[in-house]
Amino acid sequence: LLHHVPDIINVPRAGIVHRLDKDTGGIMICAKNDAAHLSLSQQIQAKTAQRTYLAVVRGNIKTDSGVIETLIARDKNDRKKMAVVKEGGRDAVTEYEVLERFGKYTIVRCRLRTGRTHQIRVHMEYLGYPLVGDPKYSPMKTPFSIQGQALHSQTLEFTHPRTGERLSFEAPLPEDMHKIVTRLRLGQFN
């Protein structure tokens, strides 16, 4: 029976190529074998695999788009959190684009150039626009029904490790985020 177990069983996190924060839904990529895992990991590292996220943030972002470039490290006061630091952290780069504004809330699309723990959450909070419902970086009460942060791994694009074909996938918004967007569009929380 053991000869039917795939090679990937010996890889740490058994095929998981990248992770999502707790309470962040959407697309993830998993490899079925060692060769695929290596190829996909290299694409993530070389930034040839593209990942975009949809977020609902508090506040009205004034600029239509931008790039956030900082260093991120463990928060000195809370080891379970990450923070923007002046030195001693790792490079973190997030591109953002405003999709819709609703007075007190903004819907943004974020594209990761790097993949640090809690990167989007930390970067948006750093700009002064924390994610709705984020229990770690925006513990404010929210008028929306959501467990965790309003962050969704929306698209993933990469090159198939075996065929070389460029593949693109999109995940629909989860029900809780869809309800938030619908309520914002109806003007219920301006």
Catalytic positions are: 21
Of the chain, the end-to-end C-alpha distance in Å amounts to 60
Helix, coil or strand: residue 125: helix
Please give the C-alpha separations between residue 94 and each of 3, 33, 65, 118, in angstroms, as whole numbers.
43, 30, 11, 11
* Structure tokens given for 127: 């700009």
What residues contact 77, with CB distance under 8 A and at least 6 apart?
none
Contact 151, 92 (CB under 8 A): no
